[in-house]
Amino acid sequence: MRRHVLSAGVLLLGALSWFAAVPLARQAQSPPAVSVRTWLGHEPAIEAHLKQAAVTTLEDIGTGVTRPRRAHLNPSVPVESLVWKVLPPGKRGGFWESYQSEIAAYELDKLLNMRMVPPAVERSIHGEVGAAIMWLEGIRSVKQTGGKVPTGEIWGKPLRKMLLFDNLIGNADRNAGNILIGSPGELVLIDHSRAFITDRRLPNKIERVDAELWERVRTLTAEELTRALRPWLDDAAIGAMIQRRNQIATAVDRLVAKKGRALVIIP
């Protein structure tokens, strides 16, 4: 993605001119965008429900290489169903996979205040232990909408966050099926069972980073990560994350020296 500063200014001025020309009655009829991230502000209640609600039915979803299932819950509020993943840590088909990585991704999302990964908790269903992940209604993936990642100024920030997050967690498995599209400028990230590997290589090329998220990532300490993620990740996985973060920092510093901060660390 390229950031065109002048075109952004033209777009903004054009939008303001259009809005000024629209009658007030028409302006009032434009409803605000509804967020698909319905868990925001309700995390404790949803986490408790995912852990404790009775499972009424369990069905195959029919998609995904990790063969997730959908469990319907009673009571049906605040969440009617969950994605159920039973993946004991280990290698399958050449890939490291673990249900614990799903929970670690959610906990790290909270630590970074990223607000893009839906709630995930550990629980037992029918004698199996796995990750119970909030099922999201009324949202489609990039794959379901044609396979093209959305573009435009409004999508720049969430895409930069996604790329930085995947570099931090070592997630090389991001694809069109696990990027969900909400209202304009809103992405939801799912399916992290292959993340948090000990490979220190970065999955994505560093070109620019989101300023707010980068500041949080840049200042992360091993102690913070251990407190938040140690139930789900071992010391080797946490150490590899710190190493990847340090590589990102080196790359960002080089780009800033070459291009200037304004073109690399984007508000």
Give the model confidence (pLDDT) of 58-89 as tens digits.
Answer: 999 877 666 899 999 999 999 999 999 999 99
Residues of the chain with pLDDT > 90: what percent?
82
Sequence ranges of the domains in the chain = 43-266
Phi, psi (degrees; rounded to nearest 5) at 240: -65, -35
Q: Is 183 helix (H, G, I), strand (E, B) or coil?
A: coil
Strand order in the sheet with 140-141: 140-141, 179-181, 187-189
The confidence band for 2, taking pLDDT boundaries of 50, 70 and 90, is very low
Task: Summarize the chain as % helix, strand, coil (round to 5).
Answer: 40, 20, 40
CATH architecture of the domain with range 43-266: Orthogonal Bundle (1.10)
State the average pLDDT for the chain: 89
Task: Report the pLDDT value the prediction gives residue 27, as an integer from 0 to 100.
Answer: 38
Instruction: Find the largest Cα–Cα distance for the chain.
Output: 62
Contacts of 202 (CB under 8 A, 6+ apart): 167, 170, 244, 247, 248, 251
Give the model confidence (pLDDT) of 165-206 as tens digits.
Answer: 999 999 999 999 999 999 999 999 999 999 999 999 999 999
